[in-house]
């Protein structure tokens, strides 16, 4: 990535991470970090490598936002609040919509994705996995089963592939169900 | 490093007083302050977290700020210590010296015991 794009990506990560902060703290933080980057570039960080190193020294935008959240309760529930149950209606909906939602006029799968990515029950890695293991859920399995390859896969190869494809969306649901906990997305 | 966690805590606890110390009798803008702190061995690991710290010191009235034009780029936010910032630093310095003396004494005893 070029230095220009690195800076743009860094700032957009920061803006995104800073969203939960109160207005004033958010604006201050973004202004401060933006001027820091401008100063560093004026002070000689010009090559792509220098810019990359400068951003590394600044640190992960999420760590900076965590520092700015100091004294505020943003995502973590206060000890006084009742413990949240592991899965609410929306998580149950995700378990259904990711494998089968595509059959609800296609939008069902996208709705499942939206619920998945806005849920705090999983880490980003788990969310990426659930998104790409079988895009469009069983529709991709069906597509594979019906596509004309121009030749027939031998049974010893075709059968295991079909079985794996049939199991993949279910396995994904099982993994999500096993891993999901309130607040994991902030880990 | 085993003591990594301890140093993270120590850094967190002492950094704001190092910031206040650098601002006694002198105004500095953010970038300048961050670079200065960065040169102190082991003090700053992520430069960006100094800005939220400065914002907090401002909320607590320990520093005050003003924007000023710069010749070479965007306007700069200058920080200077207030009187209560100076007082907080003096209080901390006294406590820190006492604390450091106690810890040093105990560590020395431990090291002598180890050599026996």
Cβ proximity of A55 and A8 under 8 Å: no
Is some CB atom of chain B closer than 8 A to the CB atom of A23?
no
A93 and A182 fall within a common domain: yes
Work out the percent of chain A whose per-residue pLDDT is above 70: 89
Cβ proximity of A36 and B34 under 8 Å: yes
pLDDT band at A94 (very low <50, low <70, confident <90, very high): confident
Token pair recorded at residue B10:
């120590």
ipTM of the complex: 0.86
Is the pLDDT at A11 greater than 90? The verdict is yes
Average pLDDT over residues A90-113: 83
Average pLDDT over residues B35-55: 88
A58 and A96 fall within a common domain: no
A47 and A114 fall within a common domain: no
Among A69-78, A107-116, A130-139, B69-78, the minimum mean pLDDT is found in A69-78
Is A97 or B90 the better-scoring residue by pLDDT? B90
Work out the percent of chain A whose per-residue pLDDT is above 90: 31
Residues of A in contact with B67 (CB under 8 A): none
In a domain, A42, yes or no: yes
Q: Closest chain A residue to B12 measured between Cα atoms?
A: A67
pLDDT at B8: 81
Residues of B in contact with A58 (CB under 8 A): 46-48
A112 and A62 fall within a common domain: no
User: Which residue range(s) make up the domain with A152?
Assistant: 89-186
Yes or no, beta carbons of A32 and B47 under 8 Å apart: no
A58 and A103 fall within a common domain: no
Is some CB atom of chain B closer than 8 A to the CB atom of A63?
yes
| Domains of chain B in sequence order | 12-115 (1.10.10.10)
Distance from CA of A20 to the nearest CA of B (A): 15
A58 and A100 fall within a common domain: no
pLDDT band at B1 (very low <50, low <70, confident <90, very high): low
Least Cα distance to A67 among A37, A29, A31 occurs for A29
Structural domains of chain A, count: 2
In a domain, A80, yes or no: no
Q: What is the mean pLDDT of chain B?
A: 91
Residues of A in contact with B55 (CB under 8 A): 25, 28-29, 32, 68
Query: How many other C-beta atoms lie within 10 A of the C-beta of residue A172?
Result: 21
A63 and A101 fall within a common domain: no
């Amino acid at each position: 990535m070029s230095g220009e794009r690195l800076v743009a990506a860094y700032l957009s990560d920061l803006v995104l991470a800073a969203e939960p902060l109160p207005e004033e703290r958010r604006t201050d933080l973004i202004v401060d970090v933006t001027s820091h980057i401008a100063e560093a570039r004026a002070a000689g960080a010009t090559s792509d490598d220098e810019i990359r190193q400068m951003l590394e020294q600044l640190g992960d935008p999420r760590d900076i936002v965590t520092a700015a959240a100091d004294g505020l309760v943003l995502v973590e529930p206060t000890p006084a609040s009742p413990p949240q149950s592991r899965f609410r209606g929306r998580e149950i909906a995700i378990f259904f919509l990711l494998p089968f939602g595509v059959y609800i006029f296609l939008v069902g799968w996208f709705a499942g994705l939206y619920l998945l990515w806005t849920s705090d029950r999983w880490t980003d890695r788990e969310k990426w996995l659930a998104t790409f293991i079988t895009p469009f859920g069983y529709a991709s399995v069906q597509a594979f089963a019906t596509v004309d390859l121009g030749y027939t896969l031998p049974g010893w190869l075709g059968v295991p592939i079909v079985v794996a494809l049939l199991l993949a969306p279910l396995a994904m649901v099982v993994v999500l169900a096993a891993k999901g906990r309130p607040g994991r997305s902030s880990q | 490093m085993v003591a990594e966690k301890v140093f993270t805590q120590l850094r967190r606890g002492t950094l704001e007083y190092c910031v206040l110390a650098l601002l006694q009798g002198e105004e500095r803008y953010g970038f300048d302050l961050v670079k200065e702190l960065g040169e102190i061995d082991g003090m700053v690991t992520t430069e960006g977290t100094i800005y939220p710290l400065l914002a907090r010191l401002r909320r607590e009235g320990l520093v005050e700020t003003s924007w000023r034009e710069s010749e070479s780029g965007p306007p700069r936010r200058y920080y200077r210590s207030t009187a209560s910032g100076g007082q907080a630093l003096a209080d901390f310095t006294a406590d820190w010296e006492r604390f450091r003396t106690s810890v040093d004494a105990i560590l020395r005893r431990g090291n002598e015991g180890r050599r026996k």
